[in-house]
Amino acid sequence: MSEKKITVAIYSGNIPSTTFIENLIEGLSESGLGIYLFGKQARDVSYKGDVKIFSTPVSDLKLVIFVMKESLKLLFKDSQLFFKSFRKIRSRKKKLKIFFTEAGAILPILNNPPDIFHIQWAKTVEQYPELFELLNCKFVLSLRGAHINYSPLNDINLANAYRKTFPIIDGFHAVSEAIGNESIKYGADKAKIKVIHSSVREDLLKKSAELYKKGKPLKIISIGRYHWKKGYHYALDAMKALKDDGVNFKYTLVAQGEIPEEILFMLDEYKLHDDVEVMKGMSYEKLIEKLQQSHLLLLPSVEEGIANVVLEAMATGVPVITTDCGGMSEVVKENINGYLIPVRNPRLILEKIKEFISANSDFKASMIKKAKRTISEEFSREKQINDFKNFYYSLTR
Amino acid sequence: MKRIGLVLPDAPQYSETFFNYKIKGLQDTGFDVIVFSGKRSNDKYFFKHYGAYPVYKGKPVKQFFQLSFIILVTFLKSPSKVKNLFSAERKDGNSFTESLKTVYINAHILPHKLEWLHFGFATMSLKRENVAKAIGAKMSVSFRGYDINIFPLKNKNCYLKLWKNVDKIHTISDYLHAKALKQGLTKEINFEKITPAIDISLFKQKDNLGKIKNPPHILTVGRLNWIKNYETAISAMKILKDKRIDFIYNIIGEGIELERLKFAVHQSGLNERVFFLGKMDNKKVTEKMREADIYLQPSLQEGFCVSTLEAQATGLLCIVSDADGLRENVIDEKTGWIVPKRDPEAFAEKIEEVLELTEEKRKIIAMNARQRIEKEFKTEDQIRKFKEFFDE
């Protein structure tokens, strides 16, 4: 592309951010975009490409000095904007500490305006509504999972903030078509929504997983943090039924954090202690190894954007059973590259597992092959970065 | 006059009828009741109330002085009791500091002369197992649902010290006692089953028993917590809706799972039929019960469930899960219906079945339920049983 280099702020509030946002930053910066990062910095980070970091200090004293320094900078640069900003920031908050936190977050952005300000978490629009009036650039908002699918259902203030802000956003990045459609309810313009799928590490495509052999225990795995939306309680219902039916299996649940009472209760109630192995979160490498030792990945969620773990399993060659929530049906086609079942239905989980057990090995091999093809064609890193780049350029043109 | 010390997390507020009834009842039958709670307060109660001394987390210096001072004062007031508790804790293998801490957190109880020290929940007895002996009182404890069914899942063998020291046990259901036996309680320890009771005069039977509104009104009352398993009820409602059966389902209560449940309702396309009414006071709840036709209790676990008693007293058609205490609360096909927990199809089928019953048949069930509550769950009986419990 011969166009002039544009700068994009990837804003999540934290430096470094979550793994997939960090991957995005890396990919975008290496593709020739200028990347700005704002927010609180937890530790040192380094990137290969062109990444500028404007971090806001956390400790009180440093924050006050930082705000004064940034204020002076803005005063000299654009005095009108300086006074406007202070009026805006002061009008909403009363507590001094909150004022400094907010000024500390917003001022560096105003002093270093990017061409595109890309907000990673939709809830930010409720946190800093002033930004949209003060910052003169294009705004992009990512539509991800919970922030769109259920948080606003139970939080009227958040829903109202969405309704107020979404109409003035210049472009939406949707992780799936489904979530894009959901955002229209809050006033997002359909024409401004661009679906860009997340990507999977390419080296996974070269890997393969253990194959299920009849007569041996079926190794089923689920991966993901403990949260009600993950639907693990439905998975345990299904495992209980599987056990009652005399199926030889082992279910592994890999999840970070303390095991919730609900899960403990169900394991005890269903007497599944010997059939279900609960593992703590582990390193990515270990996780992939664990995945490769599994015969079947189960995603029992009631809500997802597009679950990365399903993409990773498909890339690695592990057959998947996933519920049809969020954008999952955009990846998994029933009985072709995986199994797709309705949400909240343990009985169907059970039936699908049995269907998998009795499927012949040719069919299983072709399912694995097709899954790998889906990932390499639609969820490659190259495609993701290119899509983002084109999307950003289309907004600045 | 016999004096009972009742250990609770909080002093019961005006609206908490359960403990208030119990305390009043004991007072009326000639007991002196002192409530020991986790927090000091200046509120006025109709019973004597002492709160625990505060714990200053993250302020070690303040805590040190406070602890030294309170232990000194308590020691001057009742030297032998402090000594007893301290040496009992040491004998149990606790460190010097740990034992001192235990003295501190029980310092509000130690100076009192009591016949019984009763713990309102098994969890309340943790770190207080040696207190009763130290002050020369007998020790008793009440089993509810959570403290026996859930808490030990995370805290294995947490009650071993309790079993060693307790003199008498109050359980609200046979099930809980059986479960405690599995957790190391021995059969030799005396126990009494005293179920919850309700003041029947507050729950007037609804008019037109057995008649069902169009659309039928279904109700559940309870905290929005996973234990109550509202997701199963919501899935059952979806099945009914898919079968084109009309209904309104109201849920009274608040709690941390509201987001989860609202999403379930939204995802199941039930926004027009399922409503979260929030928390309501007792009077409002009785009114809502009288407007309802069917009462659902889909819980995964229940100690006993007072709401289901109230629903039966009101004359509602109760469909409950087979969770522990509920099996003693409702008699299947007689005062209501029991279906397997976590089985939405079973709940939906049962609701359909109840809707298709003749009015006469439904009336019989509702009347049976009311009569059984009147006969077997009277507050007077409960008080009498508690009196006997402590009289021995």
C-alpha pair distances (Å), A102 with each of A11, A41, A99: 15, 15, 5
Residues B278 and B220 placed together within one structural domain of the fold: yes
- pTM for the predicted model, two decimal places: 0.89
3 state SS of A324: coil
Kindly provide the ipTM of the predicted complex, given to two decimals.
0.90
| Tens-digit pLDDT profile for residues B23-49 | 988 999 889 999 999 988 888 889 999
| Tens-digit pLDDT profile for residues B116-166 | 999 999 999 999 999 999 999 999 999 988 999 999 999 999 999 999 999
In a domain, A213, yes or no: yes
* Closest chain B residue to the Cα of A260, Cα to Cα: B154
Asked if pLDDT for residue B352 goes beyond 90, the answer is: yes
Residues A388 and A334 placed together within one structural domain of the fold: no
Residues of A in contact with B256 (CB under 8 A): none
In a domain, B92, yes or no: no
Residues A59 and A130 placed together within one structural domain of the fold: yes
Residues B278 and B233 placed together within one structural domain of the fold: yes
In a domain, A2, yes or no: no
Residues of A in contact with B267 (CB under 8 A): 302-303, 325, 343-344
In a domain, B97, yes or no: no
Residues B146 and B252 placed together within one structural domain of the fold: no
Residues A27 and A175 placed together within one structural domain of the fold: yes
Residues A216 and A315 placed together within one structural domain of the fold: yes
For chain B, say whether A242 makes contact (Cβ under 8 Å).
no
Residues B182 and B207 placed together within one structural domain of the fold: no
Asked if pLDDT for residue B214 goes beyond 80, the answer is: yes
C-alpha pair distances (Å), A387 with each of A9, A196, A304, A392, B71: 17, 7, 22, 9, 69
Chain-chain contact of A150 with B235 (C-beta, under 8 angstroms):
no
pLDDT at A1: 46
pLDDT at B335: 97
Mutation site for A-interface testing, chosen from B225, B342, B343 by largest number of A Cβ within 10 Å:
B342
Asked if pLDDT for residue A4 goes beyond 90, the answer is: no
Asked if pLDDT for residue A302 goes beyond 50, the answer is: yes
Residues B322 and B215 placed together within one structural domain of the fold: yes
Query: Can you give the residue range of the structural domain that contains B19?
Result: 2-52+108-197+379-391
Which residue in the set A229, A264, A344 is minimally distant from B235, CB to CB? A344
Residues of A in contact with B266 (CB under 8 A): 150, 153
Chain-chain contact of B300 with A265 (C-beta, under 8 angstroms):
yes
What is the maximum span of chain A, computed from C-alpha positions, in angstroms? 76
Chain-chain contact of A228 with B342 (C-beta, under 8 angstroms):
no
In a domain, A238, yes or no: yes
Residues A16 and A154 placed together within one structural domain of the fold: yes
For chain B, say whether A343 makes contact (Cβ under 8 Å).
yes
Cβ burial, residue B366 (10 Å; 0-12/13-18/19+): buried
Q: What share of chain A is helix, strand, coil (3-state, %, to 5)?
A: 50, 15, 35
Residues A319 and A266 placed together within one structural domain of the fold: yes
Q: What share of chain B is helix, strand, coil (3-state, %, to 5)?
A: 45, 15, 35
Residues A72 and A162 placed together within one structural domain of the fold: yes
Residues B246 and B363 placed together within one structural domain of the fold: yes
Chain-chain contact of B262 with A154 (C-beta, under 8 angstroms):
yes
- Alpha-carbon distance B262 to nearest alpha carbon in chain A (angstroms): 7
Residues A258 and A278 placed together within one structural domain of the fold: yes
Average pLDDT over residues B198-206: 90
Mutation site for A-interface testing, chosen from B123, B150, B151, B153 by largest number of A Cβ within 10 Å:
B153
For chain B, say whether A182 makes contact (Cβ under 8 Å).
no
Strands (E), chain A: 7-11, 13-15, 34-41, 51-56, 116-119, 138-143, 171-174, 193-195, 218-223, 249-254, 276-279, 296-299, 320-323, 339-341
* Closest chain B residue to the Cα of A347, Cα to Cα: B343
- Report the length, in residues, of chain A: 397
From A352, A310, A348, A356, select the one nearest A329 (Cα to Cα).
A310
Residues B216 and B357 placed together within one structural domain of the fold: yes
Residues B358 and B386 placed together within one structural domain of the fold: no
Q: State how many domains chain A has.
A: 2
Residues B248 and B268 placed together within one structural domain of the fold: yes
What the block records as the tokens of A246 is 């005399």
Render the burial of B257-270: b for 16+ CB within 10 Å, e for the rest.
bbbbbbbbbebbeb
Which pLDDT band holds residue B15 (cuts at 50, 70, 90)?
A: low
Residue A198, number of CB atoms within 10 A of its CB:
18
Q: State how many domains chain B has.
A: 2
What the block records as the tokens of A227 is 């949260």
Q: What is the CATH number of the domain that holds B326?
A: 3.40.50.2000
| Tens-digit pLDDT profile for residues A240-261 | 999 999 999 999 999 988 999 9
In a domain, B320, yes or no: yes
What the block records as the tokens of A361 is 């090995």
The identity of residue A147, as a single letter, is H
Which pLDDT band holds residue A93 (cuts at 50, 70, 90)?
A: low
Residues A253 and A119 placed together within one structural domain of the fold: no
Which residue in the set B150, B260, B264 is minimally distant from A265, CB to CB? B150
Helix axes B282-291, B306-314, angle to 10 degrees: 50
In a domain, A1, yes or no: no
In a domain, B82, yes or no: no
In a domain, B206, yes or no: yes
Beta-bridged to residue B119, according to DSSP, are B7, B141
Residues of A in contact with B263 (CB under 8 A): 149-150, 153-154, 229, 302-303
Count how many pairs of residues, chain A against chain B, have C-beta atoms within 8 Å: 50
Average pLDDT over chain B reads 94
Chain-chain contact of B149 with A343 (C-beta, under 8 angstroms):
no
Which residue in the set B150, B260, B268 is minimally distant from A261, CB to CB? B150
Residues B273 and B348 placed together within one structural domain of the fold: yes
**How far apart, in Å, do the first and last CA atoms of chain B sit?**
14
Which residue in the set B263, B268, B301 is minimally distant from A303, CB to CB? B263
Chain-chain contact of B267 with A302 (C-beta, under 8 angstroms):
yes
Query: Can you give the residue range of the structural domain that contains A166?
Result: 7-199+381-396
Chain-chain contact of B153 with A265 (C-beta, under 8 angstroms):
yes
Distance CA A178, CA A325 (A): 9
Calculate the CA dihedral of residues A383, A386, A391, A393 and round it to 10 degrees.
-170
In a domain, B191, yes or no: yes
Residue B156, number of CB atoms within 10 A of its CB:
8
Ramachandran angles phi, psi of A109, nearest 5°: -70, -40
Residues A187 and A276 placed together within one structural domain of the fold: no
Q: Is the distance from CB of B309 to CB of B330 less than 8 angstroms?
A: no
Ramachandran angles phi, psi of B344, nearest 5°: -60, -40
Chain-chain contact of B149 with A265 (C-beta, under 8 angstroms):
yes
In a domain, B223, yes or no: yes
Q: What is the CATH number of the domain that holds A121?
A: 3.40.50.2000
pLDDT at A89: 82
Residues B269 and B343 placed together within one structural domain of the fold: yes
Q: Is the distance from CB of A252 to CB of A222 less than 8 angstroms?
A: yes
Average pLDDT over chain A reads 93
Residues B222 and B141 placed together within one structural domain of the fold: no
Asked if pLDDT for residue A88 goes beyond 90, the answer is: no
In a domain, B313, yes or no: yes
The identity of residue B21, as a single letter, is Y
Chain-chain contact of B258 with A262 (C-beta, under 8 angstroms):
no
The identity of residue A185, as a single letter, is K
Residues A189 and A211 placed together within one structural domain of the fold: no
Residues A225 and A282 placed together within one structural domain of the fold: yes
